[in-house]
């Protein structure tokens, strides 16, 4: 599209902009962010963005990516393999090309689809790094329901039902443990690489879930023992993981609510992954104080979180994460490093440091009990 950069606005639009500028409160800025002619296409795309989630969820459920690897990638072959209509397969595959999940090759009247490297690694069920199962949790009714009447959520300042709470033993947490494990595997590996431990370390894994954070530490430290805290139904999943990774003999289950169950004492490190964000500051203070008591002097707490910059609008994924907390928790937040530091220091911790776990979108925040 060729655009005359010197006059991106029509006269009509210039008049609108001028009236806005003249009527704005003193000191109020307007973001002139346009390169080309203003258009409502961003609005249109965002209103339709729900179709992206629907398309990807369907592709995962139908094992479309696996079928593309296993066939020559033409519409009739894919459709036969996944037992779906040709009309549906063609539309879905074309849209997945638009979204960057597939490539398309055209030779004369024949066309075929291929996996991108990302899709081959993460979305083909035959790949050891398959994460498609995360669609079960991310696309669950529980997580998406809060976005259905979202203006009511914004008005109320939180979920409309009060059953949404990290301190309840819900089937959701078993789904999370089972389906999110592959996505969290690299996060857990990077975290284990950060933690310095003495001989025969004792590790506390709070809200252990799939168990990977504690288990990855156990893999690196053959003398470590892991105490995993979670609800009984969730600990079943963690113990399965511990067995699969050959560390079950050093794996201690502590069933209960992490805010209530006696944790024991003299731990060298306490890992708290993707939990703190569910709570308001008061509940977090209770949790951090309990961890401070459970650690030995010199012991460390490690929080794994989506931590936005202090502007709260970057980087995109940690900033975006606040939407989940608004829709699904009464008081949770994507706390910044300054907020985490403040909360940790109030609970008695010091030497707070932050470690982005790139290429994942999460950050490890480490603090010490002196």
Phi and psi at 61, nearest 5°, equal -60, -40
In the complex with a copy of itself, the residue whose CB is nearer, 50 or 200, is 50
51: number of Cβ within 10 Å: 12
261 binds a copy of itself (CB under 8 A): no
- Closest approach of a copy of itself to the CB of residue 159, in Å: 11
| Local structure of residue 158 (DSSP, 8 states) | S
Rounded to an integer, what distance in angstroms lies between the CA atom of residue 276 and that of residue 347?
Answer: 14
Specify the 3-state DSSP secondary structure of 45.
helix
- Closest approach of a copy of itself to the CB of residue 246, in Å: 18
Which of 4, 11, 40, 161 binds a copy of itself (CB under 8 A)? It is 40
Ranges within 285-344 binding a copy of itself (CB under 8 A): 311-314, 316-317, 319-320, 322-327
47 binds a copy of itself (CB under 8 A): yes
Q: Taking Cα atoms as reference points, which of 370, 361, 317, 306 lies closest to residue 339? A: 306
How far lies 327's CA from each of 152, 323, 367, in Å?
A: 10, 6, 29
Say how many residues touch a copy of itself, by CB under 8 A: 118
Rounded to an integer, what distance in angstroms lies between the CA atom of residue 323 and that of residue 347?
Answer: 27
For a copy of itself, which stretch binds (CB under 8 A), given 9-17, 165-173, 211-219, 246-254?
A: 9-17
73 binds a copy of itself (CB under 8 A): yes
194 binds a copy of itself (CB under 8 A): no
- Closest approach of a copy of itself to the CB of residue 136, in Å: 10
Ranges within 93-152 binding a copy of itself (CB under 8 A): 94-95, 97-106, 111-112, 114-118, 120-124, 127-129, 131-132, 134-135, 138-139, 144, 147-148, 150-151
Whether omega before 291 lies within 30 degrees of 0, making that bond cis, reads: no
174 binds a copy of itself (CB under 8 A): no
Q: Taking Cα atoms as reference points, which of 230, 310, 241, 234 lies closest to residue 271? A: 230
């Amino acid at each position: 599209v060729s655009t005359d950069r010197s006059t991106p606005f029509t006269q009509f639009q210039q008049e609108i902009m001028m009236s806005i500028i003249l009527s704005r409160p003193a000191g109020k800025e307007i973001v002139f962010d346009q390169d080309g002619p203003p258009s409502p296409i961003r609005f249109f795309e965002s209103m339709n963005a729900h179709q992206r989630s629907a398309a990807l969820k369907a592709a995962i459920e139908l094992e479309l990516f696996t079928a593309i690897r296993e066939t020559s990638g033409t519409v009739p072959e894919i459709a036969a393999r996944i037992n779906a209509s040709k009309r549906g397969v063609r539309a879905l595959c074309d849209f997945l090309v638009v979204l960057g999940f597939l490539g398309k090759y055209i030779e004369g009247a024949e066309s075929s689809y291929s996996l991108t490297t990302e899709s081959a690694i993460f979305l083909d069920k035959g790949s050891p790094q398959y994460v498609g199962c995360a669609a079960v949790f991310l696309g669950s009714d529980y997580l998406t329901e809060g976005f259905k009447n979202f203006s009511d959520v914004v008005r109320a300042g939180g979920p409309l039902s009060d059953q949404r709470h990290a301190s309840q033993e819900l089937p959701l947490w078993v789904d999370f443990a089972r389906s999110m494990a592959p996505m969290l595997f690299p996060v857990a590996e990077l975290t284990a690489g950060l933690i310095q431990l003495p001989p025969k370390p004792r590790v506390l894994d709070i809200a252990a879930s799939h168990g990977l954070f504690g288990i990855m530490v156990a893999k690196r430290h053959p003398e470590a023992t892991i105490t995993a805290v979670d609800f009984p139904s969730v600990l079943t999943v963690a113990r399965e993981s511990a067995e699969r990774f050959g560390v079950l003999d050093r794996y201690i289950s502590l069933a209960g609510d992490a805010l209530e169950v006696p944790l024991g004492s003299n731990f060298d490190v306490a890992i708290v992954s993707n939990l703190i964000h569910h709570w308001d500051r008061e509940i977090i203070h209770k949790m951090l104080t309990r961890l401070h008591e459970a650690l030995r002097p010199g012991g460390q707490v490690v929080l794994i979180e989506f931590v936005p910059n202090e502007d709260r609008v970057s980087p995109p994924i940690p900033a975006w994460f606040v939407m989940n907390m608004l829709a699904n928790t009464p008081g949770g937040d994507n706390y910044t490093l300054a907020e985490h530091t403040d909360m940790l220091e109030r609970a008695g911790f010091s030497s707070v440091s932050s470690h982005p776990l790139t290429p994942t979108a999460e950050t490890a925040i480490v603090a010490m009990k002196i």
